[in-house]
């Protein structure tokens, strides 16, 4: 990959032969298109490819949110790229057993400097419901009190998690949501974060834990 500066190709896009010109965040990039492989991937390569697919499936429900609220662009690495990197690091590969195991506490769906989300409780007291509690650390700040709860939950037999945006305010200190009936008796993993009311800032997401749905 090469960066083009005042090149004859400036303003171009598309490909010529194996050369591909692309504009990434205002920077023109020249790449060599990889040759199509006719050989089957090795078991290790196939496991790496499977991890990438799992990460793409996982981020799909909150892709738009992560693209806007997962940190800040770093050079040519977008917020979405940073969110995918987080998932790739959290989905652990074991080449001895040829397995992929997600480390749920490592997964983040939101990354920012807004006042942190501090979970204090997780339960499922009523049938097909999920209840989350958190510490209201706004200290009376009216802006922080109105921060909007963002919630993500995931059941491991499903391809993707469920993302629920703007489910309540920081001041509420708790929230109960109804989950699909097929989750009854199953264990779900839960994360929360906060988004400022003006939509300009987010907190770092916090892993709440796991709970069996009644």
Mean pLDDT along residues 9-36: 61
**CATH topology classification for 119-212:** Immunoglobulin-like (2.60.40)
The DSSP result for 9-77, as a single string, is TTT--EEETTEEEEEETTEEEEEEPPPPP-SPPPHHHHHHHHHHHHHHHHHGGGHHHHHHHBS--BTTB
Joined tokens for residue 126: 């009523």
CA distance 183 to 168: 23
Tens-place pLDDT, residues 165-199: 999 999 999 999 999 999 999 999 999 999 999 99
- Helix (H), strand (E) at residue 66: helix 63-69
CA distance 194 to 117: 7
Q: Which of 204, 191, 174, 200 is nearest to 112 (CA)?
A: 204
pTM over 0.75, yes/no: yes
Mean pLDDT along residues 77-89: 96
Residue spans of the domains in the chain: they are 2-32, 43-106, 119-212
Mean pLDDT along residues 137-150: 96
Tokens 């006719």, residue located: 38
Q: What is the pLDDT of residue 1?
A: 53
Compute the radius of gyration of the chain from its Cα atoms: 21
User: Looking at 27-31, 51-55, 57-61, which range is the least confident one?
Assistant: 27-31
Joined tokens for residue 120: 């204090």
Higher pLDDT, 8 or 95: 95
Phi first, then psi, for residue 114 (nearest 5°) are -65, 155
Other C-beta atoms lying within 10 Å of the C-beta of residue 28: 19
Q: Which residues pair with 153 in a beta bridge?
A: 162, 190
Q: What is the pLDDT of residue 135?
A: 98
């Amino acid at each position: 990959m090469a960066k083009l500066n005042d090149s004859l190709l400036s303003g171009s896009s598309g490909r010529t032969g194996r050369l591909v010109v692309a504009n990434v965040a205002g920077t023109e990039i020249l790449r060599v298109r990889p040759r199509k492989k006719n050989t089957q991937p090795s078991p290790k390569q196939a496991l790496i490819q499977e991890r990438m697919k799992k990460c793409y499936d996982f981020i799909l429900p909150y892709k738009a949110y992560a693209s806007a609220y997962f940190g800040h662009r770093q050079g040519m690495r977008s917020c979405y790229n940073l969110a995918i990197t987080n998932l790739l690091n959290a989905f652990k590969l074991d080449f001895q057993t040829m397995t992929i195991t997600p480390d749920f506490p490592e997964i983040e769906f939101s990354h920012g400097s807004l006042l942190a989300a501090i979970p204090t409780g997780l339960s499922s007291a009523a049938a097909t419901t999920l209840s989350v509690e958190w510490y209201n650390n706004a200290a009376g700040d009216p802006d922080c009190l109105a921060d909007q709860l963002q919630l993500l939950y995931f059941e491991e037999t499903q391809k993707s998690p469920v993302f629920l945006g703007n489910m309540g305010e920081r001041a509420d200190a708790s929230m109960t949501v109804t989950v699909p009936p097929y989750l009854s008796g199953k264990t779900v993993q839960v994360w929360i974060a906060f988004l400022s009311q003006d939509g300009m800032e987010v907190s770092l997401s916090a892993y709440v834990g796991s709970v069996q749905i009644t």
